[in-house]
Structure 1
Amino acid sequence: MQKKLAFIFPGQGSQTVAMLSDFENNEIVQNTFKEASQALGYDVWQLVSQGPAEKLNQTNYTQPALLTASVALWRLWVSISTIKPSIIAGHSLGEYSALVCANVLSLSDAVQLVEKRGEFMQTSVPEGIGAMAAVIGLADDAIISACNDAAQGQVVSAVNFNSPGQVVIAGHKEAVTRAGELCKAAGAKRVLPLPVSVPSHCALMKDAADKLAIEFEKINFSTPDLLVVNNVDVIAQAEVSEIKKALIKQLYSPVRWTEIVESFAAQGVTQIVEVGPGKVLQGLIKRIDKSINCVSLNDNLSLEKAQELVKE
């Protein structure tokens, strides 16, 4: 086990039709997708390989698809390398991927759980009521202050601390618009509305979290065999009860990604592998700590690069 290696798992937004296409004939990857398909009752590989994108981008399909993709890549890595990370974490949904890889949840249970997570998130806030926006180039405290001033009886808060100078806000649509204007007035370079229908990680998700907590009681959680740093407290919990609490709270609390990466660096992590589609987290790592080398593992070429990185 490498002392200076961490693995990270992406969240929603990293999915694309034809992701993992390099592994169409890889037995480990295909068996992982078959396992997920059996649990969900539909062909997950067909959805990710052929789309349509509109369906893949619906959160109750996105979440199981991304989780399966990340777990498939993790299993592929374990099959070809004896080198394992000393610590792992996932961004939002990616925390569930990390917990499967740490043997806290089975893949079958996890895909069904995140499918429900997506359904609960979608139904808890009717479409058109909530919004999210990325605020670029403004200090965290100024964004938090703008949200407090903009609320006016509604919900708006900073929900993703992705990297210094990149924070996502979420809440009621009108309140998000007001907060965005205040952020611009305070000096933000840009405020970009995000194309999502669900205002994740804010107080509007409390109802979804309560429903998810009920589902947790139907599923077996095991003690992790890898350190998994959570989004909510930036702590690697060993107790199953605490892992559950953190996952429930995660749905209506901020993702503290900048602090997670900083905690890795403080523990001596110098190499990170992003396990899953896209390179979103790799981009964030560069903005948080340039001394950390990060590669994204999602095709044959990047698999080779990841193997080279961990040998250094």
Structure 2
Amino acid sequence: AVRIVNKRGQFMQEAVPVGEGSMAAILGLDSDKIVEICRSVEAESGEAVQAVNFNCPGQVVIAGAVNPVNKAIEALKAAGAKRAVLLPVSAPFHSTLMQPAADRLAEVLAPIEIKDITIPVVANVTAQEVTSGEEIKKLLVKQAAMPVLWETSVRNMVAGGVDTFVEVGPGKVLTGFTKKIAKGMTALNVEDAESLEKTLAALGK
């Protein structure tokens, strides 16, 4: 799994030369409006720019080629976005420009057997639960070049009865998003020994 993750990162970095892609966080504008404006700019410019990370209410990230991203930023500001923040990233992740990476990832995953699972995973490319190993493999490929539906994923988990979220990994970015999406739910994080102890205590373990 770690080797595949390493390959995935390599493929995504190589899909678009450094400096040719861009990402920006758009704050304070309806997500449907962001999608609409990106589609308009994309159609007009003939270059890729899409809404790719639906993080939480009032925050959507766009990605694509540098020029159309800049054009979209101006159009989004004119449409009422409170802020547009260019992100310090090396590629336009989760946009259609990542399709070459998805294709290469599919080749790596092809001979790998992913077994069916008993505890469902919510795939952020569909925001739906999945347990089929074959379906998980397909979604892992799609996820490289398709939007991350984080807000809808969290809402669907809450609707399914989830009331506690634990972010595992450095930082608390997803915890912050989750608190804005699922107000009143328990949102914890584990990034080191201290936060692990705090989380275990909060869970009564």
* Letter aligned with residue 188 of structure 1: A
Q: 2:139 aligns with which of 246, 255, 271?
A: 246
Question: Which one has a larger percent strand, Structure 1 or Structure 2?
Answer: 2
Q: Which secondary structure state, in structure 1, belongs to the residue aligned with residue 145 of structure 2? A: coil
> How does the TM-score come out when normalised to structure 2?
0.95
Alignment of 1:272 with 2:150, yes or no, is no
- What runs of 5+ residues in structure 1 fail to find an aligned partner? 1-109
Does structure 1 retain, via aligned residues, the 8 Å contact 2:52–2:146? yes
Determine which of 23, 35, 44 is the counterpart of 1:132. Answer: 23
- Are positions 1:263 and 2:161 aligned together? no
1:225 lines up with 2:121 in the alignment: no
Residue of structure 2 aligned with 1:297, choices 177, 190, 193? 190
Identity of aligned residues (%): 47
CA contact (8 A) 1:133 1:176 kept: yes
Amino acid at match of 1:129: E
Deviation at 1:133, TM superposition (A): 0.4
Are residues 1:117 and 2:8 paired?
yes
The one-letter amino acid of 1:138's match is L
* Counterpart check, 1:173 vs 2:76: no
- Verify the 8 A CA contact 2:128 2:156 in the aligned structure 1: no
CA-CA distance at 1:300 after TM superposition? 2.6
Ranked by relative contact order (alpha carbons within 8 Å, sequence separation 6 or more), the top structure is 1
Task: Tell me the SS of whatever aligns to 1:225.
Answer: coil
What is aligned with 1:149?
40
Looking at structure 2, the residues matched to 282 and 129 of structure 1 have their Cα atoms a distance apart, in angstroms, of: 31
Offset from partner CA, 1:127-173 (integer Å, 9 cap, x none): 11111000011100110111012112110000000001010000111
TM-score with structure 1 setting the length: 0.63
1:220 deviation in Å?
Answer: 2.6
CA contact (8 A) 2:30 2:58 kept: yes
**d(CA) in 2 for partners of 1:303 and 1:206?**
37
Q: Secondary structure at the match of 2:177?
A: helix
- The whole-number CA distance in structure 2 between the counterparts of 1:137 and 1:307 is 35
Post-superposition CA distance 1:47-81 (Å, at most 9, x none): xxxxxxxxxxxxxxxxxxxxxxxxxxxxxxxxxxx
Q: Distance in 1 between matches of 2:79 and 2:93?
A: 24
8 Å CA contact 1:162–1:284 kept in 2: the answer is yes
Distance, in Å, in 1 between the alignment partners of 2:95 and 2:118 is 30
8 Å contact from structure 1 (residues 271, 310) kept in 2: no
Aligned residue in 2 for 1:283: 176
Pairwise CA RMSD of aligned residues?
1.3
**Number of aligned pairs?**
203
Task: Assess if the C-alpha contact under 8 Å between 2:119 and 2:131 holds in 1.
Answer: no
* Aligned equivalents of 1:306, 1:267: Cα separation in 2: 22
Point out 4+ residue stretches in structure 1 off by more than 3 angstroms.
Answer: none
Give yes or no for contact 1:135–1:166 (8 Å, CA) kept in 2. yes
Which residues of structure 2 form unaligned runs of 5+? Answer: none
1:25-68 C-alpha deviation (Å, 9 max, x unpaired):
xxxxxxxxxxxxxxxxxxxxxxxxxxxxxxxxxxxxxxxxxxxx
